[in-house]
Structure 1
């Protein structure tokens, strides 16, 4: 009976949006929860907390989108500049570029004769793609996509930021601070587990890492809010 080769599923195509999604949601939960805890510790009214949280959601989502767009656009510009320089070198020095590509394969364990043949065949098929992949490390699956990164960060930040706001809406007034801290910590741990599962990474390590830094941030801001609330 013939054996059918099963195509393997890899995560390279997910890396860009997964990073932006996790960063956005994590920042949304932590920054909004910390801000709300700091303000709540200063003994303000619930409606003031909600206004603060909504402002944090809108400002944070816009900031995340702008930051991701600028950052990833810079990466995309660098990639395009590198590709353009490589295109010129391929046109002006094809033999030197062939030797350079072959030498890369030799350093990976291929014999010089076979490396020269592989480089020749790949360059005959698509020289720029071969050099982009093996010389520059630029892959189509992980190429910079500024708009995708910006939208993903803005949306996931908004979702993450909305979770602490929901707690403020429904939690009893006398339990507001502990409820906000506990639910936000649970949201962070759940996000860490979800991200680890999507990226096929160790679950426990991701949950502990996200939970620890989230708890530290919330304790710090709540303490500062309490101090300044008492002083003022």
Structure 2
């Protein structure tokens, strides 16, 4: 009997490795669409000129992209700091009490349904090969596929914000009387497209993510339009 070569790469594809940048990109695109469109809708609803709407939109676009990039970098950097601290702590514990760490690793495998004798054997083999990596993976859930990357997250967030935030400007192609409604329409279409794209990239169903972002974005624009209209009628 022959067995397949175990060195053949595993053919299945998974999306966990895309989680970091995908989250930042999706958040950036949605935020760009909703934030910039809401600013433009609010200004347009106040009866302001087209130049005022454009100025407000551009200000929101540039400020939002920088804020998203800075926020993602700070947030993900904090995550990296936590992971480094966990790594250092685990390394100290392995150096100070290797037997206790071995027992802890064995207990983890037993809790997952591995028979005690086999769990001990597996723990010993893994701890001998690469003890720190074994504990980081199985005790703390760290993985090289999901390791945080601050620069990657910041760039993905800023680029996607700029891309999403540019969409509402298409509404300015309409005559002045219809520009507010066209801004809303193109933004909702952009949100639906972003939701579908994100869901497909993540390998999930498309209806619920698309509906979620469309409803959220529509509500945000409705609120800012009401505020703009209130400012207009009150003479602020």
TM-score tier by shorter-chain length is over 0.9
- For residue 171 of structure 1, report the CA deviation from its aligned partner: 2.0
* Corresponding position of 1:34: 38
1:93-132 Cα offsets, whole Å, 9 max, x none, are 1111111001000000001111111111111111111100
64, 67, 74: which one pairs with 1:70?
A: 74
Q: Does 1:192 align with 2:215?
A: no
* Corresponding position of 1:56: 60
The 2-side partners of 1:77 and 1:3 are apart by 42
The 2-side partners of 1:149 and 1:174 are apart by 39
* Corresponding position of 2:19: 15
- Structure 1 portions without partners, runs of 5+: none
127, 130, 133: which one pairs with 1:129?
A: 133
* Corresponding position of 2:165: 161
Q: Secondary structure at the match of 1:110?
A: coil
- For residue 226 of structure 1, report the CA deviation from its aligned partner: 0.4
Q: Secondary structure at the match of 2:148?
A: coil
Normalising by structure 1, what TM-score? 0.96
Normalising by structure 2, what TM-score? 0.94
* Corresponding position of 1:100: 104
- For residue 2 of structure 1, report the CA deviation from its aligned partner: 7.8
* Corresponding position of 2:48: 44
* Corresponding position of 1:114: 118
Does structure 1 conserve the Cα–Cα contact (< 8 Å) formed by 2:192 and 2:214? yes
Q: How does 1:142-221 map to 2 (within 5 A)?
A: 142-168=146-172, 170-221=173-224
- For residue 166 of structure 1, report the CA deviation from its aligned partner: 3.1
Q: Secondary structure at the match of 2:142?
A: coil
CA RMSD of aligned residues (A): 1.4
Does structure 1 conserve the Cα–Cα contact (< 8 Å) formed by 2:41 and 2:225? yes
* Corresponding position of 1:224: 227
The 1-side partners of 2:20 and 2:174 are apart by 36
The 1-side partners of 2:169 and 2:18 are apart by 29
* Corresponding position of 2:95: 91
The 2-side partners of 1:98 and 1:2 are apart by 33
The 1-side partners of 2:148 and 2:96 are apart by 27
- For residue 200 of structure 1, report the CA deviation from its aligned partner: 1.2
